[in-house]
């Protein structure tokens, strides 16, 4: 058993780095929480704290409302810490956007996207994430206009016909059948 509260900050940083490298998410979260708890102590490197905040937002699927509220408060605290120490906070906006999507209360993503595009256009990772989100949002808007509900992968592709596809149904033109695709 590893008790993070008894470790020196150097040992805590080493265990944290090791857990990140081995992708031990449960241990990373425990160590990240301890790093964040100690963030204002002497000798705690701000870059380590930055990494710990970012790791706390890696797993944002299927959150309960209490967890979402806790992470929202943690996000605000982390953003304030990063700004205070003049650390880059581009990736924190990715976490903010993910929190907004996870929030079923309808937190608006538009101001977040606008800020990211205006202020963080120099970060490739952030811009790639924004482009994926924008592409998804435009697909959803287009699907709602068309009355469609299925993702693009499930739509029959033009020119390919299999015996089970709707494209080859009665009354429609037959397309090229690719054996083994059915």
User: Taking 90 as the threshold, does the pLDDT of residue 23 lie above it?
Assistant: no
Work out the percent of the chain whose per-residue pLDDT is above 90: 25
Q: How far apart are CA 151 and CA 138, in angstroms?
A: 12
pLDDT category at 31 given cuts 50, 70, 90 is: very high
Q: Over the chain, what is the mean pLDDT?
A: 78
Q: How many residues does the chain have?
A: 182
pLDDT category at 109 given cuts 50, 70, 90 is: confident
User: Taking 70 as the threshold, does the pLDDT of residue 180 lie above it?
Assistant: no
Instruction: Say what the pLDDT of residue 182 is.
Output: 47
Instruction: Say what the pLDDT of residue 63 is.
Output: 66
- Angle CA(61)–CA(64)–CA(66) in degrees, nearest 5? 130
CB of 59 within 8 A of CB of 25? yes
* Mean pLDDT of the 19-40 span: 91
């Amino acid at each position: 058993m590893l008790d993070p509260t008894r470790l020196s900050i150097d040992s805590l940083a080493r265990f944290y780095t090791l857990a990140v490298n081995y992708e031990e998410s449960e241990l990373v979260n425990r160590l990240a929480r301890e790093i964040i708890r100690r963030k204002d102590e002497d000798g705690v490197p701000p870059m380590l704290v930055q990494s710990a905040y970012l790791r706390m937002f890696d797993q944002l699927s299927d959150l309960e409302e209490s967890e979402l509220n806790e992470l929202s408060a943690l996000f605000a605290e982390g953003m304030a810490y990063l700004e205070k120490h003049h650390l880059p906070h581009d990736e924190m906006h990715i976490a903010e956007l993910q929190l907004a999507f996870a929030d079923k209360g309808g937190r608006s993503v538009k101001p977040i996207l606008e800020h990211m595009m205006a202020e963080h256009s120099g970060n490739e990772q952030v811009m790639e994430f924004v482009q994926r989100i924008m592409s998804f949002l435009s697909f959803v808007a287009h699907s709602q206009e068309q009355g469609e509900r299925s993702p693009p992968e499930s739509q029959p592709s033009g020119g390919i016909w299999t015996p089970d596809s709707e494209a080859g149904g009665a009354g429609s033109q037959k397309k090229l059948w690719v054996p083994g695709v059915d």
